[in-house]
C-alpha cells in the first residue's frame, strides 16, 4: 500500500476535534504517513497531535511547539529517533512500535517535561532495567506504561544509573552502548503480542478495533491497561 506525504496542505486540512479532556486536537490518524514533517504549519494551535495508525518509521520532525502537550503515535513502525527540539510535551504515547534500543530512547531526552509515557508493544519493554532507565531518563515522569512511578523507583534508578545523564554511572553506558540485534516486527503482529494469552481470539479482535478508534489519552490508557492485564476494556468491561 502506497505511503503518503504529510504535506502542508494535509496538515492545514487535518480534522480538528476537541478531546474528552477538552484539548484541541489535530487528527492525522490512518493516513499511511511515512514521515513526520510540516507540523510548523499547525501554527502551534493544538494541544494534541494524533498520528495514530500510520506507517511512521522515525520519530523526528517535531518543531518547537510551545502549546503541544500530547503526542499520539501508537500503532506505527517507529524504530529510530531523530533530533528532538525541547518543548512542553507532557504525554507521549508510543504503544505498538519497533523501538528496541536504549540508545534510541535516550535521544528523547530533550523532551524533559514528559510526565506520561506509554511504550507497551515495543521490544525495549522486555529489556532488563527498562523501567528504571526510563524513569531515570525523564525525571518528571509520573506514569510509565499506565503505572504510577513510585518514589522508591526514582531512588533505585538514581542509585543504578547516577544523579543525571551528564554524570551517569557505568551501568547507564552499558545499556546505551549495547548491541541492538532486534529485527523489526510487523505492526499487526506487535499489536497482537501485547495481549495476554488468556484472551480469546474474538476478544483480541475487540481490543485491536478499540485501539484503532481511540481518540483520547484516556481511551488509549484504558485499552493499554486492558492489554496488559488480560481483559477486554469495552464500555461494559468483561473480566476474563
Buried/exposed code over 142-181 (b: 16+ C-beta within 10 A; e: otherwise): eebbbeebeeebeebbbebbbeeeeebeebbeebbeeeee
pLDDT tier for residue 133 given thresholds of 50, 70 and 90 = very high
Q: Which residue has the cell 511504550?
A: 119
Determine which of 72-86, 87-101, 221-235 has the lowest per-residue pLDDT on average: 221-235
Which cell goes with 51? Answer: 498520528
pLDDT in tens, 151-189: 999 999 999 999 999 999 999 999 999 876 566 666 766
Q: Which residues are paired to 129 by β-bridges?
A: none
DSSP secondary structure code for residue 85 in this structure: -
pLDDT tens, 192-211?
A: 665 444 555 666 667 667 77
pLDDT, residue 228, reads 62
Percent of the chain with pLDDT over 90: 67
Model confidence, pTM? 0.79
In the chain, count H helices and then E strands.
8, 10
Q: What is the mean pLDDT of residues 38-65?
A: 95
Please tell me which residue, 71 or 231, carries the higher pLDDT value: 71
Show the domains of the chain with their CATH numbers.
Answer: 8-180 (3.80.10.10)
Mean pLDDT across the chain, nearest whole number?
85
Region 48-59 average pLDDT: 96
pLDDT at 239: 34
CB-based burial, 201-215: b 16+ in 10 Å, e otherwise? eebbebbbebbeebb
Question: Is 115's pLDDT higher than 50?
Answer: yes
DSSP assignment string, 41-62: GGTT--SEEE--SS---EE---
Predicted pLDDT of residue 210: 74
d(CA 24, CA 37): 20
Amino acid at each position: 500500500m502506497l505511503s503518503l506525504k504529510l504535506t502542508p496542505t494535509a496538515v492545514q486540512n487535518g480534522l480538528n476535534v476537541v478531546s474528552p479532556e477538552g484539548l484541541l486536537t489535530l487528527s492525522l490518524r490512518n493516513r499511511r504517513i511515512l514521515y513526520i514533517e510540516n507540523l510548523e504549519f499547525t501554527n502551534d494551535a493544538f494541544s494534541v497531535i494524533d498520528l495514530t495508525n500510520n506507517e511512521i518509521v522515525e520519530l523526528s520532525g517535531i518543531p518547537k511547539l510551545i502549546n503541544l502537550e500530547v503526542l499520539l503515535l501508537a500503532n506505527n513502525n517507529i524504530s529510530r529517533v531523530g533530533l528532538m527540539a525541547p518543548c512542553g510535551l507532557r504525554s507521549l504515547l508510543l504503544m505498538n512500535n519497533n523501538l528496541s534500543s536504549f540508545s534510541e530512547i535516550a535521544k528523547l531526552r530533550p523532551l524533559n517535561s514528559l510526565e506520561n509515557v506509554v511504550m507497551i508493544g515495543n521490544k525495549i519493554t522486555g529489556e532488563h532495567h527498562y523501567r528504571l532507565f526510563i524513569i531515570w531518563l525523564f525525571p518528571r515522569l509520573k506514569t510509565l506504561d499506565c503505572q504510577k512511578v513510585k518514589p522508591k523507583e526514582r531512588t533505585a534508578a538514581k542509585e543504578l544509573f547516577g544523579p543525571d545523564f551528564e554524570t551517569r554511572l557505568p551501568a547507564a553506558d552499558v545499556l546505551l552502548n549495547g548491541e541492538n540485534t532486534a529485527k523489526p516486527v510487523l505492526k499487526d503482529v506487535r499489536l497482537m503480542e501485547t495481549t495476554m494469552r488468556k484472551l480469546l481470539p474474538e476478544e483480541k479482535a475487540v481490543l485491536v478495533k478499540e485501539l484503532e478508534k481511540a481518540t483520547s489519552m484516556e481511551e488509549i490508557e484504558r485499552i493499554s491497561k486492558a492489554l496488559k492485564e488480560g481483559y477486554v476494556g469495552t464500555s461494559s468491561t468483561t473480566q476474563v
